[in-house]
């Protein structure tokens, strides 16, 4: 019974496009984000490893806090895989504090660029700008 429920939740997670599974060091590569074009995607570590947070813009309503997904102050990379939206990253929850914007297709490792943002992102907003 427990196994069946777990399988159901796994199927539901896939349906929702929710990816919060920890990935093994060997398996975790940049493609964890790049393989899912059109998503907003974060890695836990600056070398594109660790836990991945990934959602399509249609799954991100208004301002999205990352703490309910256990990803508050955790992202060390950011990937705007959309071709039609701007991604806004916020220092605090409810889209407050300092903000960093990433255009469509942009990818950052906060280990090398915009280092201040490493482990600081608490909420995000995705603005559709058309193409
Ligand atoms: Ca923060």
Q: What pLDDT digit, counting tens, does each position of 29-50 carry? A: 445 787 888 999 999 999 999 9
91 Cα: distance to centroid of ligand 1 (angstroms): 4
**DSSP conformation class of 68:** G
Task: Return the structure tokens found at 34.
Answer: 């790049």
Query: Which of 19, 10, 3, 24 has its CA nearest to residue 79?
Result: 19
What is the per-residue pLDDT for 35?
83
User: What is the domain partition of the chain in residue ranges?
Assistant: 26-128
CATH pick for 26-128 out of 1.10.357.10, 1.20.58.340, 2.60.20.10, 3.30.590.10: 2.60.20.10
pLDDT over threshold 70, residue 90: yes
- pTM over 0.85? The answer is no
CA 98–ligand 1 middle distance (angstroms): 9
DSSP state of 84: S
**Ligand 1: centre distance to CA 38 (Å):** 25
């Amino acid at each position: 019974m427990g196994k069946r429920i777990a399988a159901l939740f796994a199927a539901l997670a896939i349906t929702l496009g929710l990816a919060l599974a920890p990935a093994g060091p060997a398996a975790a590569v940049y493609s964890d984000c790049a393989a899912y074009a059109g998503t907003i995607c974060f890695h836990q570590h600056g070398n594109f490893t660790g836990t991945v947070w990934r959602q399509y813009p249609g799954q991100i309503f208004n301002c999205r806090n990352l703490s309910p997904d256990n990803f508050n102050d955790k992202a060390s990379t950011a990937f705007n895989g959309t071709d039609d939206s701007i991604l806004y990253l916020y220092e605090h929850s409810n889209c407050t504090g300092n903000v960093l914007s990433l255009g469509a297709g942009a990818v950052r490792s906060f280990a090398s660029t915009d280092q201040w943002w490493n482990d600081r992102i608490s909420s995000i907003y995705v603005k559709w700008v058309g193409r």
